[in-house]
A and B are shown apart, each in its own frame.
Chain A
Amino acid sequence: DAGVIQSPRHEVTEMGQEVTLRCKPISGHNSLFWYRQTMMRGLELLIYFNNNVPIDDSGMPEDRFSAKMPNASFSTLKIQPSEPRDSAVYFCASTQTTPGDSNQPQHFGDGTRLSIL
């Protein structure tokens, strides 16, 4: 079990640049989540996909943020243009969601530490 794989692990870029974060969920999982963690706000859910379809994107902070899941094994979170206040650790998590079953924990990747200068 390779776990949830995120890339890059670290990203440092200048304000205004486009940033793309990548996630490969655990094989067989049908739900994928993007979270952001900051000292001030803790862990916040940004967007949730089920069977590759975005279900809830109410946590996406602004139109500068977008997320896609073109297939069951890959998702991206894009920020364009990036701003210093976007600096945070971004986590991807996956799980197997079955209607009526709330017994499956989410499995997290190691995160991408993003710094916008």
Chain B
Amino acid sequence: KQEVTQIPAALSVPEGENLVLNCSFTDSAIYNLQWFRQDPGKGLTSLLLIQSSQREQTSGRLNASLDKSSGRSTLYIAASQPGDSATYLCATLGPVGLIFGTGTRLQVFP
């Protein structure tokens, strides 16, 4: 059974810092890995999707990497801004659908 873990559970950083969020999973038989952002009281917004054959994806200040052999993915956020404050979730897509991690709650203060 797939288990997805995210570290750290919470992170508070000053504006401008570069930061890395970590995601690990136990079963490498995945179709893709996705990173989502969740704002309070809102649904999830898809940020990046890395297919199982890919190593990384980039969108603006965000870069996500995937290492299936070690069961790890990282989300790199460059030059963080207060507007980046949210909960970030990773999820693996497999035969039984999306399996989510418990998330990293990020706060970026001015």
The interface of chain A, by Cβ under 8 A from chain B, is: 4, 33, 42-45, 48, 56, 58, 91, 93, 102-103, 105-111, 113
Contact B96 A102 (CB under 8 A): no
> CA A58 – CA B43 in complex, angstroms?
23
Chain A residues lying within 8 Å of B91, measured Cβ to Cβ, are 43
Q: Pick the contact of B100 from A42, A103, A107, A113 — CB < 8 Å?
A: A42
Contact of A43 with B51 at beta-carbon distance under 8 Å, contacts A106-B46, A109-B43, A110-B42 already known: no
Which residues of B from 34 to 91 have beta carbons under 8 Å from A?
34, 36, 41-46, 49, 51-52, 89, 91
> CA A93 – CA B46 in complex, angstroms?
11
- How many A-B pairs with Cβ below 8 Å? 50
Which residues of B from 12 to 44 have beta carbons under 8 Å from A?
31-32, 34, 36, 41-44
- Residue in chain A with minimal CB distance to B42: A110
Chain B residues lying within 8 Å of A108, measured Cβ to Cβ, are 36, 43-45
Interface size on B, residues (CB 8 A): 24
The interface of chain B, by Cβ under 8 A from chain A, is: 31-32, 34, 36, 41-46, 49, 51-52, 89, 91, 93, 96-103
A-B contact pairs, 25 of them (CB 8 A): A42-B100, A42-B102, A43-B89, A43-B91, A43-B100, A45-B96, A45-B97, A56-B96, A91-B43, A91-B44, A102-B31, A102-B32, A102-B93, A103-B32, A103-B51, A105-B34, A106-B44, A106-B46, A106-B98, A107-B46, A108-B36, A108-B45, A110-B41, A111-B42, A113-B41
Q: Pick the contact of A56 from B41, B45, B93, B97 — CB < 8 Å?
A: B97
> CA A111 – CA B40 in complex, angstroms?
11
